[in-house]
Structure 1
Amino acid sequence: MAPVEIGLGLQSDKRAGDYARLARRAEEDGFDVLTVFGDLMYQPPIFPLLEMAAATTRVRLGTACLNPYSMAPYEIAGQAAALDLASHGRAYLGLARGTWLGAVGIDQPRPLAALEEAAQVVYRLLGGDTTGFEGRVFRLAPGTALRYAVHRPDPPLLLGAWGPRGAALAGRIAGEIKVGGSANPAMVSVIRDRVRTGAEAAGRSVDDVGIVLGAVTVVDTDGAAARAKARTEVAMYLAVVADLDPTVEIPADLLARVKELVDAGADTEAGRLIPDDLLDLFAFSGTPEQVAAQAQTLIDAGVRRVEFGTPHGLTDDRGVALLGSAVLPLLRREPAPVRPAATGPGSGS
């Protein structure tokens, strides 16, 4: 079984130089993967990723996620190739259908076909396949090829998905599936069963697909302040992810009130309505010991990777520093050696 990875997920809202500093610190502390989110109206993730590639030598790097509605598959192939070249083969490609694209006038028809065909087009281009492709959503004319060399033809594919059909697609074609916005260990078995459907249909093992869970993270030695900030962050997306988790029942009146307050710009007030047990299903928050304990429940449930998402702490730098210096050691701690039973005088034998 592949070792469990611990990753950081960064929002692309920082200044030039910030990404390199945070990435360098994260790699030194022992993180395995650095992800940049591809959220609507933030900086395109390729800029942060290229900066982080230049500042690191070991960590894997990728976007979670690009979508084939706002970026054509040939452009996705180009960005994946650029990152893989800049990082000397450390890139992964994240694809998802995307969220909130209606705000910029982009429809999302046939999402499963769009994702599957986009992946086919990307990997045909990266692999130098010039036979052409004719899909329901995308096409490549015969002879169409990239006009530059790529580092690898097959950087690993991650699909972002919660639902049964998206997870089954990941089971057929992806190396990882990311459930974004969840810290709920009960979702791991749900996703595994959904992935298994597609994996077995494709003649693969469900274990071929790593399950990644990632969520808002706020860690601080002041656990109460960290959890208060996490509540505010979670309130902003609770209405989006709550309906996606079949293991959780949230009172309709609570969800409606949270959404009403968020829509009115009262995020902090909305966050105060979220009880502790609900917060822990959608965020990692509190002291380093609390955050490590939450992450360990996901590892025990069988995830391949835990991803600590933005904002990390009360400030970016302090959060990343605490995750690396105080949380990671708790997750990577070796079990105490088993000592042989005493047999000498006074041992009770």
Structure 2
Amino acid sequence: MPKVREFGVGFESLSAREFASHAKRAEEMGFGTFWVPEDPFMRGAFTLAAAVACSTSKMKVGLGIVNPYTRHPSLTAMEFAALDELSGGRAIMGIGTGIKDWIEGRLKIPYTRPASAMREMVEITRALFRGEVVSYAGRVFQSDRMKLNFKPARAGIPIYLGVLGPKNMEMTGEIADGLLLSVMSSPAYVKFATEHLRVGLQKSNRDATDFPVSAYILSSISENERAARDALRPFLAMLISIMAPQPENPIFATAGLAPDTIKSFGESFSRGVVPKDMVTDAMVDTFAIAGSPARCRENLARLVEAGMNAPVFFEAPGVPPQKTFDDVYTHLMPHFS
């Protein structure tokens, strides 16, 4: 089997205390990074990441992802520098554009120039981490004489971009320290992403060999293959339905799914029906790792061969968190580490 840099894990619906206990267990099992997402109206990611940091001593703490709009980059820098200090220099900051329907639709915050907003956020936060006085005049953000009133634990806190499209993947290679791909990343999509990533890496004169490429992976592993695969169909159906307004999204296009197929998921969802019966076996194999241990190893190997070198096993509704830990530790980690 091909080797990976590390295995990561991520959750979002646990209680704050559960985050702490599961993080401790993940570190004991050898996971390299514990990722905490920031999603609409879920528990605050910075608080949860602090709980992870305080309950561990070696494992990295990833915040993936935060957006440039709901808090100014200077506020994110303040929060994140404190998190990095608390963790003893183990934090990773993930930046993405966030969910437009939440930011602009529900919060009524202008969703302006998302690619520029990400680039400017990287520039502003890095300058603040270095202890600089920052006066900035960008296309999205402007500031005058900002400076942190404490010295960050590290000037070079790693920044990953969580992006979907080719131009932003190129930008990741140009300015970021790692790439964090979405759930439902197929081998074809990972290959597509890494090809565009290399374009940006060439611009910044960096080698693709050691560049971290992660993705959130939904998994369900069991000798009862049918039960394992069926457990993920409802959640995959919901995710596809939510993304149905973007039927030509590269996640779907690279996997060869026709826009009409994606639209039919959205139409069913709009009628109040989660179309789990529309999730074919091929879709399960494309968008998740599910089934027998042998099948799951084969599917993970395809992702790694496509360019992923730091898989993150993310919470899948219907699969208990401890089972995710145990199954990845038992059936996958020994074969790829």
Considering the TM-score relative to the shorter chain, is it more than 0.5? yes
| Residue identity opposite 1:58 in structure 2 | K
1:174-253 aligned at under 5 Å gives the runs: 174-207=176-209, 209-239=211-241, 240=243, 243-245=249-251, 246-253=253-260
Equivalent position of 1:337 in the other structure = none
| Residue identity opposite 2:305 in structure 1 | D
Equivalent position of 2:148 in the other structure = 146
Higher Cα Rg, which structure: 1
Equivalent position of 1:48 in the other structure = 48
Q: Secondary structure at 1:181's aligned position in 2?
A: coil
TM-score (norm 1): 0.87
In 1, Cα distance between equivalents of 2:114 and 2:260: 31
RMSD over aligned Cα atoms = 2.1
Kept in 1, the 8 Å contact 2:53–2:86? The answer is yes
Report the Cα offset of residue 189 of structure 1: 2.6
Q: Secondary structure at 2:16's aligned position in 1?
A: coil
- Are residue 280 (structure 1) and residue 285 (structure 2) matched? yes
| Residue identity opposite 1:15 in structure 2 | S
Query: CA-to-partner distance for each residue in 1:246-296, whole Å, 9 max, x for gaps?
Result: 3222244432232223333432xx122111112222122223333332222
- Are residue 295 (structure 1) and residue 292 (structure 2) matched? no
- Are residue 114 (structure 1) and residue 121 (structure 2) matched? no
Query: CA-to-partner distance for each residue in 1:231-257, whole Å, 9 max, x for gaps?
Result: 111111224276223322224443223
In 1, Cα distance between equivalents of 2:110 and 2:290: 35
Q: Mean Cα displacement is larger for which, 177-186 or 17-26? A: 177-186
- Are residue 319 (structure 1) and residue 320 (structure 2) matched? no
In 1, Cα distance between equivalents of 2:331 and 2:201: 37
Sequence identity of aligned pairs in percent? Answer: 25
In 1, Cα distance between equivalents of 2:296 and 2:22: 19
Distance of aligned partners of 1:300 and 1:9 in 2 relative to their CA distance in 1, 3 Å threshold: same
Report the Cα offset of residue 114 of structure 1: 0.4
Equivalent position of 1:136 in the other structure = 139
Q: Secondary structure at 2:118's aligned position in 1?
A: helix
The runs of 5 or more residues in structure 1 that have no matched partner are 333-349
Equivalent position of 2:266 in the other structure = 259
In 2, Cα distance between equivalents of 1:220 and 1:103: 40
Q: Secondary structure at 2:213's aligned position in 1?
A: strand
Equivalent position of 1:161 in the other structure = 163
| Residue identity opposite 2:335 in structure 1 | L
Q: Mean Cα displacement is larger for which, 216-225 or 159-168? A: 216-225
Equivalent position of 1:4 in the other structure = 5
Report the Cα offset of residue 16 of structure 1: 2.7
Report the Cα offset of residue 152 of structure 1: 0.8
Kept in 1, the 8 Å contact 2:219–2:288? The answer is yes
The runs of 5 or more residues in structure 2 that have no matched partner are none
Q: Mean Cα displacement is larger for which, 17-26 or 314-323? A: 314-323
In 2, Cα distance between equivalents of 1:331 and 1:205: 22
In 1, Cα distance between equivalents of 2:278 and 2:235: 12
Equivalent position of 2:127 in the other structure = 124
Kept in 2, the 8 Å contact 1:312–1:320? The answer is no
Q: Secondary structure at 1:132's aligned position in 2?
A: strand
Equivalent position of 1:72 in the other structure = 72
Q: Mean Cα displacement is larger for which, 114-123 or 300-309? A: 300-309
Kept in 2, the 8 Å contact 1:4–1:304? The answer is yes
Equivalent position of 1:342 in the other structure = none
In 2, Cα distance between equivalents of 1:254 and 1:135: 40
| Residue identity opposite 1:20 in structure 2 | A
Distance of aligned partners of 1:221 and 1:37 in 2 relative to their CA distance in 1, 3 Å threshold: farther
Kept in 2, the 8 Å contact 1:80–1:93? The answer is yes
Query: CA-to-partner distance for each residue in 1:62-121, whole Å, 9 max, x for gaps?
Result: 111000011210121122212211211110010000113234223322111100001111
Kept in 1, the 8 Å contact 2:4–2:336? The answer is no
Report the Cα offset of residue 166 of structure 1: 0.5
Equivalent position of 1:306 in the other structure = 311
The answer to which structure, 1 or 2, has the higher relative contact order (CA under 8 A, 6+ apart) is 2
Report the Cα offset of residue 37 of structure 1: 1.2
1:99-110 aligned at under 5 Å gives the runs: 99=99, 100-101=101-102, 102-104=104-106, 105-110=108-113
Q: Secondary structure at 2:39's aligned position in 1?
A: coil
Q: Mean Cα displacement is larger for which, 78-87 or 220-229? A: 220-229
| Residue identity opposite 1:90 in structure 2 | R
In 2, Cα distance between equivalents of 1:87 and 1:220: 35
Q: Secondary structure at 1:237's aligned position in 2?
A: helix
